[in-house]
Structure 1
Amino acid sequence: MRLIMLDTETTGLSPQQGDRMVEIGAVEVCNRDMRQTRTFHQYINPGRKIPAEVVRIHGIDDARVKDEPRFSAIAQDFLDFIQGGTLVIHNAPFDLGFIMNELEACGMPNIHDMPVIDTLVMAKKQFPRQRNNLDALCDRFEIARGHRELHGALLDSELLGEVYLAMTGGKQFSLGMDTGVKPASEYVQLASAQRERSEQRETAQLMRRPAINIREEDKVRHQTLMQRIAKESNEHVLWREG
């Protein structure tokens, strides 16, 4: 299985409220070996101010990204890199929410059907009622993170790779391990998809409405009107043609 460890840094918490990505990092892991990997890394100009409280978390300020490309300019390169892989993300709804909204906004193919593993869900099953953020998991599995003063998408992706391998049996994959692979669409519901489902529900409700109960006197009036129309048109009426 070709695994793609993925992480993003953003301007805030909600793409629906206008927050955007400022960095995306991904690390390819093949044959459960972290020694020979390919990486994808890109800073992104979000087209909006980065709040100071967010800069304190990941260290990426407006000056750092002012000359970087918008997501639309690197979207195809990103899609090419992850194609054919399974995404491994810690708290998948967050990162996928930003990526899928960005892809939709720039008219690129989306990743609704791409397989995704959420290591936060896995960790909560393995270590219930414990801290399960990436730092806590690194400490639990004795994965060195002393070089990590701030969050960074590529570094966090590398750490996530080490964590995932440790959680699933190291070099030898545990056959009994349930990684909970799901399509991306089960983690994120885009506004367009929600509108489509709403329209489908409305149509289904209309189709399920009971038949109209027509009174006999109304049927007689209708038949009389049809006969009158036929007579006045010398019997040249559509419902009698063909």
Structure 2
Amino acid sequence: MSEKYVVFDFETTGFSAQKNEIIQIGAVKYDENNQELARFNQLVKNQRSYVSTEITQLTGIKPADLLNQPTIEEILPDFLDFIKGHLVVAHNAPFDISFLYQAIIDCAITDVEAFRVYDTLAESKKLLTMSSYALENFKDLLEMNDLRSHDALNDCLITAKLYQYLQKIEEVERSVESEVADELGQLDLFGDSSDEITDSIRRKLNLPITKALVYYQQNLERKWERFEVLGISVEREYSTGSSLKIRLHNSEKVKIHSDFLKEMQKANFVTIMEEEK
């Protein structure tokens, strides 16, 4: 079913969401008919990591280019408003989503909606046969060789064309049965609608099997508070993880992406967050 969507891409100082950071945000918004509505293109000042020679050669972004740019704290709320309520599309989405969630944590932004994500890398591997699934290798297929790769906005335009190409293939293959399953939220994959934390749920979400699950959030003093997770319900499943609603000890319910909850189970989660301040 057609819907509004935003294609986005980050250029970063490296591959670790905890140690590196976003230095360019690109995004393009489309309507249900694949007509472009708006663009978001912004360099971001680096604060805790360097722009190496290799990154400059790859992206064309020099350290001097970032000196007078806004920080991630200044620009992230605008970007979240730009994508709010839309399907978000990215190539190798787990990489970009991990940097997005880390930025949300670093900026202490709360009440962020669970993202609905379409990963063109994962879907193209299901639907196409390619020698390599790197985004730049789709430019021939999509007739977009005039665009330079590893520029966030250019990569968005390429990803958008790839998404539209994949959607045409999926329309041919889509059956009434799969549409019904999507409308039902694919609950059959997870049993009934109970929020009981079963071993099956843990395995499907790649969560620890034997220990209590925890959720962290910062209080008004920006100190980390730890809560035990007593219930998990799966609201939707996407190509990259699931949208969850978790129940805490005080019956509070919080929406969260499964990948983000998985990160919180790491023994050094808070330590890493404190070190990166």
- Provide TM-score, normalisation by structure 2: 0.62
Paired residues in the alignment total 191
Partner of 1:160: 159
Q: Which 4+ residue blocks in structure 1 deviate beyond 2 angstroms? A: 109-112, 127-130, 172-175, 177-191
Q: Is the 8 A contact 2:6 2:83 kept in 1?
A: yes
Whether the 8 Å contact between 2:94 and 2:240 is mirrored in structure 1 is no
State the identity as a percent: 26
Q: Pick from 149, 174, 177: which aligns with 1:176? A: 174
Structure 1: distance between partners of 2:101 and 2:111: 6
Q: Per-residue displacement from partner, 1:144-189 (whole Å, max 9, x unpaired)?
A: 22231x411111111111111011118x944618883754724455
Q: Which residue is equivalent to 1:219?
A: none
Equivalent position of 2:76 in the other structure: 75
**Equivalent residue number for residue 194 of structure 1:** 265
Q: 1:195 to 1:180 in 2, by over 3 A?
A: closer
Alignment RMSD (CA, Å)? 2.6
* Structure 2 unmatched runs, 5+: 179-237, 244-256, 270-277
- The 5 Å alignment of 1:2-13 reads 2-13=4-15
Q: Could you say if the C-alpha distance between residues 186 and 129 of structure 1 is closer, same or farther in structure 2, counting changes exceeding 3 Å?
A: farther
One-letter amino acid of the structure 2 residue matched with residue 194 of structure 1: Q
TM-score normalized by the length of structure 1: 0.70
Query: Higher strand proportion, which one?
Result: 2
Map 1:101-112 to 2 at 5 A. 101-109=102-110, 111=112
* 1:117 has 2:188 as partner: no
Letter in 1 for 2:95: F
How far 1:112 sits from its partner (Å)? 6.5
The alpha-carbon deviation at position 138 of structure 1 amounts to 2.5
- 2:138 — aligned with what? 137
Greater per-residue helix proportion: 1
- Once the two structures are TM-superposed, the CA of residue 2 in structure 1 deviates from its matched residue by 1.3
| Aligned ranges 1:1-242 → 2 under 5 Å | 1-16=3-18, 18-34=19-35, 36-47=36-47, 48-109=49-110, 111=112, 113-128=114-129, 130-140=131-141, 142-148=142-148, 150-169=149-168, 173-174=171-172, 176=174, 180=239, 182-183=241-242, 185-188=257-260, 191=263, 193-195=264-266
User: Do the aligned residues in 2 keep the contact of 1:88 with 1:118 (CA within 8 Å)?
Assistant: yes
Structure 1 residue runs of 5 or longer lacking an equivalent are: 199-242
Letter of the 1:81 counterpart? F
